[in-house]
Each structure stands twice: as structure tokens, then as C-alpha cells.
Amino acid sequence: MSSETVQQPARQPLDRAVDLPVALPADRMVVDGVDVLGSLSPSRASDFMSCPLLFRYRTVDRLPEPASPDAVRGTVVHKVLEDLFDLPAQDRTPDRAAGLVVPAWEQILEQAPEVAEMFGEEGPELGPWLASCERSLTAYFALEDPTRLQPAERELYVETLLDSKLLLRGFVDRLDVAPTGEIRVVDYKTGKAPPEAFEAKALFQMKFYALVIWRTRGVVPRMLQLIYLGSGEVLRYSPDEHDLLATERKLEALWAAIVQAQESGDWRPNRSPMCDWCAHRAICPAWGGTPPPLPDPEPPVQQATDGLTPEDVD
């Protein structure tokens, strides 16, 4: 399989997903001089698998979504855990982590002042919300000892171009590399661990990253590790080449389904319990709403854009 390098996008505190608009089937996209069919991140791929209409709203229509306290808490906690490893090992303590919460919040607020609208009459109070960020960090210290870790990479941008010319890209929270070369891929979640029946869905994101790392580094990661701070649990999985080849086939089939949906204009909703958290429920036909008209079917090729969704940071 082949992989090629394109220019890394600028990284900002609120950037958690990297995607391109869906390409017209007859067209190709050029990203940083590389000819591609289109681009997927784990979050957008999960969107289509869970609800094609949600994928359309986020990727084709690019409808805005209000920031949520849970999503921004995830961003703050990710930022603190990234900054924590800038400190000398002996200084990576719970107190120092707690002291990084307000600076991380202020940095996010400077970049996106509108997130302050979450707080007020209908939202949570800022003080208790910041305290909830600190509780997530307390849970982290019960699961790992950062004084004994030295990550090889943090918030690592990864990408690979498959032989099919489908571009896979995203950000990995943490990459640990042992002296013997084994790789561990780590992702932080501020939510709770899923029931066992839903673990495969949670691991899809990690297998996506493992596939990209395998294609770019030639090494299958030894361990995929999801750290759930909301429930104080760790989900671990050791992939093999068979797993990653299956993930690649799944992503290529998923892209074919996305192209078919665009060609037909048939972006079907999938009613599920997750609808309770969807920002677009009012315009979803599964709930009696009416979708907006599709945008011009032949838009100009756009550059990659970044976006924040709860799935990217929880």
C-alpha cells in the first residue's frame, strides 16, 4: 500500500477533526498538490456510520453547531494533559494539573469567545464547570502516573493516502514508543466507558489511527489504549495486520457509500438514542423536521477545514 505526505494543517486549541467536503464522483480533489478522492477523519467516518444525514449536515451543508459544556470540557482536559508533559517529570502532579485548567480555558476563550455563551441562565455556572474539569484530571492520575511516562508525540497530526486515493487524517492524543520500538496509541475520553457490546464502535477510531501509523511508519502499534476519565476505566486492544486490513476495506467501502449518497441525494436519517444529543434534531425528518435544500451540487473545490464536535473531544 502507498502513502504520501501532504502539508500538515495549522493546529488550534479547538481543532479536533480534519475533513474535506465530499467530492463529486466524477471529480478529483487536489490537496496540497496531491490528487485524492476525498478525506475522512475518524469522527466523520463515525458520523456516516451512525447517521448519513448527520454526516451530510456536518460535512456537506456544514451547519453550525453550538458548543456544549461536555465538548469544551474535553478540549480543556486534552489541553491540560498535553501541557502537563511539557513539565519536568517530577512536576507532573495533580496540583500542577489543576493549576493548568484556567490557563487552558482562557486560551480556548481567546480563540473562540462564543463558547462563553454556554454559561449563564440556561447553562452551567463557570466555577462548578471548571471544577468538573479538575475532577476529570483527578481521575486521570488514578489511572496513570505521568511522572513515569515520556510520550514520543502529543496531539500528533497523522495522515496517509491509500492506494484508492482516499486520504485518512486526524490527530492522535498521545503516542508512546518503547526503547524496543513498540508503539502505544493513547486517546483520552472525558466520558464514560461504553458497555461491552459497544466497545467495537469505540475501538474503530483507534484502529483508524493504527492503520494510518502502520501505513506511514511500517509498524503495527502494539497497543491501542482508550482512557475513560468519566468512569475511571481503561480499554486496551492489541491489533494485528488482519485487523488493520479489515479497517482499510471498511473505510473504502464507507467512502463508496458516501459517494453513492451524494450521487443520489439520499442522506437517510438513522433514529437512535443519540438523537437526544443531536444539534440538528429540529430539521431531521425522523423527528418531523424538514432538511434544508442541498447546496449547489457542483461547488468549487475547497480546502480542508477543521471543526469541533463532541465526538472529537469527549
The CATH number assigned to the domain holding 188 equals 3.90.320
d(CA 70, CA 275): 16
Q: Which of 118, 133, 148 is the last residue of a domain?
A: 148
Residues with Cβ within 8 Å of residue 139, at least 6 apart in sequence = 229, 230, 232
d(CA 152, CA 176): 5
In terms of domains, do 158 and 304 share one? Answer: yes
In terms of domains, do 131 and 158 share one? Answer: no
Query: Model-level pTM?
Result: 0.85
State the residue for C-alpha cell 486490513: 245
In terms of domains, do 110 and 184 share one? Answer: no
In total, how many domains does the chain have?
A: 2
> What is the extent of the structural domain holding 237?
17-52+151-313
Q: What is the 3-state secondary structure (H, E, C) of the chain?
A: CCCCCCCCCCCCCCCCEEECCCCCCCCCEEECCEEECEEECHHHHHHHHHCHHHHHHHHHCCCCCCCCHHHHHHHHHHHHHHHHCCCCHHHCCHHHHHHCHHHHHHHHHHHCHHHHHHCCCCCCCHHHHHHHHHHHHHHHHHHCCHHHCCCCEEEEEEEEECCCCEEEEEEEEEEEECCCCCEEEEEEECCCCCCHHHHHHHHHHHHHHHHHHHHHHCCCCCEEEEEECCCCEEEEECCCHHHHHHHHHHHHHHHHHHHHHHHHCCCCCCCCHHHHHCCCHHHCHHHCCCCCCCCCCCCCCCCCEEECCHHHHC
pLDDT at residue number 197: 82
Q: CA dist 277 to 33, 71, 115, 259, 293, Å?
A: 38, 12, 18, 27, 23
pLDDT at residue number 118: 87
Count Cβ atoms below 10 Å from residue 119 Cβ, excluding itself.
Answer: 14
d(CA 181, CA 167): 26
In a domain, 28, yes or no: yes
In terms of domains, do 95 and 183 share one? Answer: no
Q: CA dist 21 to 29, 30, 154, Å?
A: 10, 12, 27
Q: Which of 119, 148, 177 is the last residue of a domain?
A: 148
Bridge partners of 212?
Answer: none
Amino acid, res. 138 = T
> What's the distance, CA 76 to chain centroid?
15
In terms of domains, do 266 and 188 share one? Answer: yes
In a domain, 101, yes or no: yes
In terms of domains, do 43 and 80 share one? Answer: no
Q: Which of 128, 148, 168 is the last residue of a domain?
A: 148
d(CA 46, CA 290): 23
In terms of domains, do 203 and 77 share one? Answer: no
In a domain, 7, yes or no: no
In a domain, 4, yes or no: no
Question: Tens-digit pLDDT profile for the chain (314 aa)?
Answer: 333 333 444 444 444 333 444 443 334 566 667 788 888 999 999 999 999 999 999 988 999 998 889 999 999 999 999 999 999 999 999 999 999 999 999 999 999 998 998 887 767 899 999 999 999 999 999 999 999 999 999 999 999 999 999 999 999 999 999 999 999 999 999 999 999 888 888 899 999 999 999 999 999 999 999 999 999 999 999 999 999 999 999 999 999 999 999 888 899 999 999 899 899 999 999 999 999 998 875 343 233 233 333 344 34
In terms of domains, do 183 and 307 share one? Answer: yes
What is the bridge-based pairing of β-strands 153-161 and 38-40?
unpaired
In terms of domains, do 47 and 76 share one? Answer: no
pLDDT at residue number 8: 47
For 113, the grid coordinates are 469567545
In terms of domains, do 118 and 218 share one? Answer: no
In terms of domains, do 230 and 99 share one? Answer: no
In a domain, 57, yes or no: no
Orientation angle between helical segments 241-264 and 42-50, nearest 10 degrees? 60
> What's the distance, CA 312 to chain centroid?
3
In terms of domains, do 197 and 241 share one? Answer: yes
| Nearest by Cα to 135 from 94, 85, 84 | 94
